[in-house]
């Protein structure tokens, strides 16, 4: 079945996994297989960090300078602060999360209404969208999804990948993991599991193989699943 033959309507796929699991890579592979938007919360956070008002709000909330020698946000200093201080982390999330949620809601609306631009620069109406959000469950955005994919990766591999990529210590990786829902919680909530301890080709093949399952999902308009960006999404199981 091709995308053109898929039943009409709008469906949202959420991707779960531990830190360093490769969930963003899996999300991109799923979006490629479906030819649909990949909405990435991390890119939204990066955009927010570029705004002077965000930096000022973070410094005010934490009562600390967070700028590097060039006047930009020192993300290492911010990370060190919030992963040692749960109260500081909550303050930062209260500043960032509303903007991220508005960004994701806007992306879903553009996808559903056909004003999203594909890789060729063409406007097209999406049948699906993929949400790549590290705190998908913690933020309640799984309720906006019709299908949840969990990317399973052994902890030692997740740790080595994350530490190599970000320059973290194993203790820092572990502290970041502890700030999220447990791996077992994420796996239990998922509708399907992809295994990412092998090659990228293997992960891509697993992601592509989801296509028939995703075609069978009953559609739900954004107005029913997530009416307003500043309100909580409506549970998909309701």
In tens digits, what is the pLDDT along the chain, a chain of 238 residues?
455 566 778 999 999 999 999 999 999 999 999 999 999 999 999 999 999 999 999 999 999 999 998 899 999 899 888 888 889 999 999 999 999 999 999 999 999 987 655 556 666 567 899 999 999 999 999 999 999 999 999 999 999 999 998 888 898 898 889 889 999 999 999 999 999 999 999 999 999 999 999 999 999 999 999 999 999 998 765 4
What's residue 3's pLDDT? 55
Query: According to the model, what pLDDT value does residue 238 have?
Result: 47
Angle among Cα 186, 191, 197 to the nearest 5 degrees reads: 65
Are the beta carbons of 234 and 224 closer than 8 angstroms? yes
> CB of 107 within 8 A of CB of 114?
no
3-state secondary structure of 152: strand
Tokens 């056909």 correspond to: 114
The DSSP code for 232 is P
Confidence at residue 5, expressed as pLDDT on a 0 to 100 scale: 64
The H-or-E segment that residue 158 falls in is: helix 155-166
Q: Exposed (0-12), middle (13-18) or buried (19+): which is 23, by Cβ within 10 Å?
A: buried
Cβ partners under 8 Å of residue 123, min gap 6: 114, 115, 116, 117
Q: Which domains are delineated in the chain?
A: 3-225 (3.40.50.300)
Instruction: Give me the pLDDT at residue 116, please.
Output: 55
Q: How many CB atoms lie within 10 A of CB 114?
A: 10
How confident is the model at residue 175, as a pLDDT? 84
Neighbours of 225 (CB within 10 A): 22
Q: What does the block give as tokens for 165?
A: 């990529």
Nearby residues of 157 by Cβ (< 8 Å), 6 or more positions away:
20, 197
Per the document, the length of the chain is 238
Q: Which residues pair with 73 in a beta bridge?
A: 67
SS3 157: helix
* Two structure tokens written together for 69: 């020698």
């Amino acid at each position: 079945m091709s995308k053109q033959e898929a039943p009409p309507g709008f469906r949202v796929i959420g991707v779960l996994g531990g830190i360093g699991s490769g969930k963003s890579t899996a999300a991109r592979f799923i979006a490629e297989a479906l030819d649909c938007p990949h909405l990435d919360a991390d890119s939204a956070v990066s955009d927010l960090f570029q705004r002077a008002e965000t930096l000022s709000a973070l410094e005010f909330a934490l009562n600390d300078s967070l700028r590097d020698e060039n006047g930009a946000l020192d993300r290492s200093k911010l990370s060190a602060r919030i992963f040692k201080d749960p109260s500081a982390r909550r303050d930062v999330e209260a500043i960032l999360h509303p903007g991220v949620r508005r960004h994701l809601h806007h992306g879903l609306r553009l996808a559903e209404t056909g004003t999203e631009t594909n890789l060729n620069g063409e406007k097209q109406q999406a049948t699906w969208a993929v949400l790549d959000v590290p705190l998908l469950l913690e933020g309640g955005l799984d309720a906006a999804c019709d299908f949840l994919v969990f990317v399973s990766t052994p902890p030692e591999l997740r740790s080595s990948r994350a530490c190599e990529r970000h320059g973290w210590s194993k203790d820092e990786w572990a502290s970041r993991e502890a700030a999220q829902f447990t791996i077992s919680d994420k796996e239990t909530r998922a509708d399907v599991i992809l295994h990412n301890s092998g090659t990228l080709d293997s992960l891509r093949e697993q992601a592509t193989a989801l296509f028939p399952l995703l075609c069978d999902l009953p559609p739900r308009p954004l107005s029913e699943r997530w009416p307003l960006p500043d309100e909580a999404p409506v549970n998909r199981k309701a």
